[in-house]
Amino acid sequence: MRQSKLFTKTQKNPPQDALSASHKYLTQGGFIDMLMAGVYTYLPLGYRVLNKIADIIRAEMNSAGGQEMLMPTLQPKNIWEETGRWETLKEVMYQFQDRSGKETGLGATHEEVIYDLIRRNVSSYKDLPLSLYQIQNKFRNELRAKGGLMRGREFMMKDLYSFHLSQEDLDGYYNQMIEAYKKVYQRCGLEVKVVEASGGIFTKKYSHEFQVIAEAGEDNIIYCPKCDFGQNSEIAKLKAGDACPQDGESLKAGKSIEVGNIFQFGDKYAKDMNGYATTKDGQKQPILMASYGIGISRLAAALVEVHHDEKGIIWPKSVAPFAAHLISLNKNETADEVYEILIKKGADVLYDDRDISAGEKFADADLIGLPYRLVVSSKSGDKIEVKKRSSDKSELVGLNEVLKLLSE
Amino acid sequence: MRQSKLFTKTQKNPPQDALSASHKYLTQGGFIDMLMAGVYTYLPLGYRVLNKIADIIRAEMNSAGGQEMLMPTLQPKNIWEETGRWETLKEVMYQFQDRSGKETGLGATHEEVIYDLIRRNVSSYKDLPLSLYQIQNKFRNELRAKGGLMRGREFMMKDLYSFHLSQEDLDGYYNQMIEAYKKVYQRCGLEVKVVEASGGIFTKKYSHEFQVIAEAGEDNIIYCPKCDFGQNSEIAKLKAGDACPQDGESLKAGKSIEVGNIFQFGDKYAKDMNGYATTKDGQKQPILMASYGIGISRLAAALVEVHHDEKGIIWPKSVAPFAAHLISLNKNETADEVYEILIKKGADVLYDDRDISAGEKFADADLIGLPYRLVVSSKSGDKIEVKKRSSDKSELVGLNEVLKLLSE
């Protein structure tokens, strides 16, 4: 894409209230735009990042047998009354009356909707286990929405729900999903701690969080610096300095960002919403449920918190909005030709074709943070100057080598 | 995908209130599930159809220079007050107060949000023209929501907005989008009439609708049976029996389904929301806007209205949830092998591996409506019986020929 056409331009100054690197750089780089507190437009660059993350999640959820669908945002009060959550989630759920006076809520989460669907469609062991997910914006009536994508009123989430006829089957799938989650984060370029957690407002049952150690984090956890073990400090069985139960290393305490959480609801929903199925030998058994969430927009913010320097973002290849930033110096036609060839070969390139100074172009490239910077100038001859965003060294290479680099 | 794992199963009986073929077959076939009036879950099969339609739309919008992004559903009252639409759209827009008492609306359309974004980011002719779009669920507080996907409270839409500094530039792009729209419908397998329309509640300015002639339609139009000319009967310059202005054929009157509409707002938003940019010679000019919508979920319903018979849906290849329905008769291992080979070769196949009768499998295949039915049985030997959903004839062909058919 030609940067002269890209909506929007980068901004010189950070937002006034920016406290975190992600809020600052995602806004200045033209990834997001605030409409109101906690509510953002995902601009073309930002939407590309979210889609790359979403596609990684999709691939791993599909591998784990997940079927994608899309549930509604508008939800009737009655199903939420069955579990008592119309009251208990009152604080975070948008609730209002429609024109006909019917009490309606906006989807803050979808356990009630999906369990209602399950109880109407599942009657036998032959229909189970089931794993269903969606990717969609969720809504939470946050009093203190943070700037940026860390804690919003409207945010993008993947939520998967699994259904089982035995605790053993549920446990097996729950553990499989822990591994799928680790793969998602690893593919996105994030190191996570798998944290034993208390269930918070959603459940008191068995639960894990996936936490990224970062200064901008809101959570306090006890974690092992050398492996993926972590524990929510609210549980506080272990403390900083204790030995890690996985590898014996000395545990640390620190702030972290929650980028995923999974819950075992067991038979809570079966009891509350009357969801039963018959086993092979004709017995009626509760349909057990677990749910598995990943905050996609928050994950994008966490990536920036972990991958940035004083000049801007350093996107991991797998989630970068483009693979490379091609820059033409001194308005030359060679850059145009290189761009056309790269595009023809299917390379995913942002081309800074604007009539501005080299300094401004380099600053924008550092701010936006694509993995490779490619400079074509009168000095580079028939070669292209290639620099990784994460490195200071550049080298002159031929076009074929550039294509090879970008297809890696 | 193995049908034994697919969520959900087909249903024997249509919904009680089903008046249209699309409501009936999309529900019975397991494409959609009603949560409340006008609010549906898109089940795995249905979500696949919507994604195929969305991808066709994306390709055509990108070809026309559109940049995809995602705007919020939650919207503040203040921007809607600038255009007076907080009042005039009160009937169709969900409006409520958040926890802090702030007046909030749900996105019924996004002109105000995007124009606010534009006026803050566009200042010069260098930034224009611009074409931005999104694909997302919209919300309308319909008193009389219809069953099925024809008129919902929550529905999937593509909305594109274009911005220009001259009427000439806007006209050119508007005409380019009419051609892009025709391509979208043609690729989806729908014949549309391009209808001169009055603007309805959204605008009194120049506007076109894209209408599909169908019994289940809600609109009355005057149209040419032999070309794509149409006119909204509210305008009533022409009537049934008059000569078509395009080809002189005798016009007809009939009911139709609106599957897209486009509007020229001209300088309305520039005036209401103060959006101006400077021209090459330093003059301040209003930033003109046009908007272009396609109801994706309604388009899926329109497809079923046009493409069905008394047994079920007949999906056009381009939007079918799978390319073929593989059916095994009498639990045999050959079908399993064929399925594994097809999947390995990248074919997009639904495999009915269930232990039920041939009659039930054939009925389900007709109801779900995939373009090809492939039957493997002890009778077919090493051949596969192939039948188009749209035809009664079947023939025995080899596996390689099947692969060739499916990749067409």
How far is Cα B5 from Cα A4, in angstroms, rounded to an integer? 48
Q: How far is CA B317 from CA B49, B53, B324, in A?
A: 11, 11, 9
Structure token pair of residue A96: 């209002």
Q: What is the pLDDT of residue A378?
A: 83
Structure token pair of residue A380: 């580079």
Distance to chain B for A261, nearest Cα, Å: 24
Cβ <8 Å between A67 and B44: yes
Class for domain A322-407, per CATH? alpha beta
How far is Cα B336 from Cα B358, in angstroms, rounded to an integer? 16
Which residue from A6, A98, A117 is facing B33, i.e. has the nearest CB? A117
Residue of B nearest to A3 (CA): B127
DSSP annotation of B145: P
Q: What is the pLDDT of residue A199?
A: 56
Q: What is the pLDDT of residue B408?
A: 80
User: What are the chain A neighbours of B106 within 8 Å (beta carbons)?
Assistant: 106
Topology of domain B21-309, per CATH?
Answer: BirA Bifunctional Protein; domain 2 (3.30.930)
Q: How far is CA A138 from CA A67, A102, A219, in A?
A: 19, 21, 21
Q: What is the pLDDT of residue B201?
A: 47
Distance to chain B for A116, nearest Cα, Å: 9
Cβ <8 Å between A72 and B44: no
- Residues 6 or more apart whose CB falls under 8 angstroms from that of A379 comprise A329
Distance to chain B for A36, nearest Cα, Å: 7
Average pLDDT over residues B89-98: 94
User: What are the chain B neighbours of A39 within 8 Å (beta carbons)?
Assistant: 72, 74-75
Q: What is the pLDDT of residue B199?
A: 56
When the pLDDT of each residue in chain B is averaged and rounded to a whole number, the result is 94
Distance to chain B for A7, nearest Cα, Å: 8
pLDDT, block means (10 residues), chain A with 408 residues: 96 90 97 96 98 98 98 98 96 92 96 98 97 97 86 96 97 97 98 82 71 93 94 83 95 96 95 97 97 98 98 98 94 87 95 95 98 92 94 95 91
On whether any CB of chain B is under 8 Å from the CB of A72, the answer is yes
On whether any CB of chain A is under 8 Å from the CB of B141, the answer is yes
Q: What is the pLDDT of residue A333?
A: 80
DSSP annotation of B44: H
Cβ <8 Å between A154 and B130: no
**Exposed (0-12), middle (13-18) or buried (19+): which is B189, by Cβ within 10 Å?**
middle
Residues 14-53 of A with CB under 8 A from B: 33, 35-36, 39-44, 46-47, 50
User: What are the chain B neighbours of A75 within 8 Å (beta carbons)?
Assistant: 35-36, 39
User: What are the chain A neighbours of B113 within 8 Å (beta carbons)?
Assistant: 35, 41
User: What are the chain B neighbours of A43 within 8 Å (beta carbons)?
Assistant: 69
Q: What is the pLDDT of residue A268?
A: 95
| Sequence spans of domains, chain A | 21-309, 322-407
Average pLDDT over residues B287-310: 98
Residues 77-106 of B with CB under 8 A from A: 91, 94, 96-100, 102, 104, 106
Ranges of beta strands (E only) in B1-120 are: 32-36, 39-42, 67-68, 74-76, 95-97, 103-106
**pLDDT for B70 beyond 60:** yes
Name the least confident of A321-335, B35-49, B60-74: A321-335
On whether any CB of chain A is under 8 Å from the CB of B13, the answer is no
On whether any CB of chain A is under 8 Å from the CB of B137, the answer is yes
Structure token pair of residue B4: 């034994």
**Are A134 and A110 spatial neighbours (Cβ–Cβ below 8 Å)?**
yes
Q: What is the pLDDT of residue B275?
A: 98
| B313 — pLDDT class (breaks 50, 70, 90) | very high
- ω before B83 within 30° of 0 (cis)? no
Alpha carbon A323 to chain centroid, angstroms: 19
Cβ <8 Å between A69 and B41: yes
Q: What is the pTM of this model?
A: 0.97
**pLDDT for B324 beyond 50:** yes
**Are B168 and B317 spatial neighbours (Cβ–Cβ below 8 Å)?**
no
Q: Which tens digits make up the pLDDT trace of B142-169?
A: 888 888 999 999 999 999 999 999 999 9
User: What are the chain B neighbours of A44 within 8 Å (beta carbons)?
Assistant: 67-69, 132
Residue of A nearest to B37 (CA): A76
Query: What ipTM describes this predicted complex?
Result: 0.96
Which residue from A71, A100, A106 is facing B143, i.e. has the nearest CB? A100
Q: How many CA atoms lie within 13 A of A304 on its CB side?
A: 33
On whether any CB of chain B is under 8 Å from the CB of A125, the answer is no
Q: Which tens digits make up the pLDDT trace of B98-144?
A: 988 999 999 999 999 999 999 999 999 999 999 999 999 999 998 88
On whether any CB of chain B is under 8 Å from the CB of A167, the answer is no
Q: What is the pLDDT of residue B100?
A: 87
- DSSP line for B261-306: EEEEEETHHHHHHT-EEE-TTS-EEE-EEEEEEEEHHHHHHHHHHH
Cβ <8 Å between A44 and B68: yes
Which residue from B39, B132, B143 is facing A74, i.e. has the nearest CB? B39
**Are A236 and A326 spatial neighbours (Cβ–Cβ below 8 Å)?**
no
**pLDDT for B204 beyond 80:** no
Distance to chain B for A76, nearest Cα, Å: 7
Which residue from A4, A41, A94 is facing B72, i.e. has the nearest CB? A41
